[in-house]
C-alpha cells in the first residue's frame, strides 16, 4: 500500500489502535471524514490518522467527544486562520489551568496516602488488645502522631449499638 493511499476503516483502526466502533462514532459525530469507494467501503486519507491521534490526545486531556465537536466547529467557523488559532489557544489555556488544578489535587492525594500508609505501618508494632473502634484514636503506637484524615475518617464503631425496649434486639433486657 502506498504511503498516501486511502485507508480502509480496518487499516485505520490497526494504525491508531482504535476500535472500528470508535472510528464509526467519530465519523458519525463529524470528527472524521471518509470518502466511499465504489464498493461502499469507507476510505480515509492519511491525514485522518493524525486526526484520530489528535482526538485521543484531547480525550486524554479530559475533552468529551461533544466538546471536541464544538472545538472543531469553533475552529472551522472562524473568519481567519489567526482567529481560529486564537480560539484554539484560549480553549487550551483553560484546559491547561484545569489540568494544573487536577495535578495539584492528585499531588495532595498522594501526600495524604503516603502519610496514611506511614501511620498505618506503625500499627504493625501495636501490642495492645483493644476493640477495632479504638484504632482510629490509638495512643499506644501513635501518641505523638496526629491521625491522618484518611485514617480518622474511617469512623470505626467500638461496639454494636444496642436498642432499648426491643426484645428481639441483641443484648436487650
* 62 grid coordinates: 479530559
Cβ atoms of 148 and 112 closer than 8 Å: yes
pLDDT at 162: 46
What does pLDDT average to in each consecutive run of 10 residues of the chain (173 residues)? 82 95 95 90 92 95 92 88 89 92 97 91 79 69 76 62 51 49
Q: Which residues lie across from 36 on neighbouring strands? A: 42
Q: Is 44 left (phi over 0), alpha (psi -120 to 50) or beta?
A: beta
| Rg, C-alpha atoms of the chain | 29
Ordered domains of the chain (ranges, CATH): 1-64 (1.10.1660.10), 78-156 (no CATH)
Amino acid at each position: 500500500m502506498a504511503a498516501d493511499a486511502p485507508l480502509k476503516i480496518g487499516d485505520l483502526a490497526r494504525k491508531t489502535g482504535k476500535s472500528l466502533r470508535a472510528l464509526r462514532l467519530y465519523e458519525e459525530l463529524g470528527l472524521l471524514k471518509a470518502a466511499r469507494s465504489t464498493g461502499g467501503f469507507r476510505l480515509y486519507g492519511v491525514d485522518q490518522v493524525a486526526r484520530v491521534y489528535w482526538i485521543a490526545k484531547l480525550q486524554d486531556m479530559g475533552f468529551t467527544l461533544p466538546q471536541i465537536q464544538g472545538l472543531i466547529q469553533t475552529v472551522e467557523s472562524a473568519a481567519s486562520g489567526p482567529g481560529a488559532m486564537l480560539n484554539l489557544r484560549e480553549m487550551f489555556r483553560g484546559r491547561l489551568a484545569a489540568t494544573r488544578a487536577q495535578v495539584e489535587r492528585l499531588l495532595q492525594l498522594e501526600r495524604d496516602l503516603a502519610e496514611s500508609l506511614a501511620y498505618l505501618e506503625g500499627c504493625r508494632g501495636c501490642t495492645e488488645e483493644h476493640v477495632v473502634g479504638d484504632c482510629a484514636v490509638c495512643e499506644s503506637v501513635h501518641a505523638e502522631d496526629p491521625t491522618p484524615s484518611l485514617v480518622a475518617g474511617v469512623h470505626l464503631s467500638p461496639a454494636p449499638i444496642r436498642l432499648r425496649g426491643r426484645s428481639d434486639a441483641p443484648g436487650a433486657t
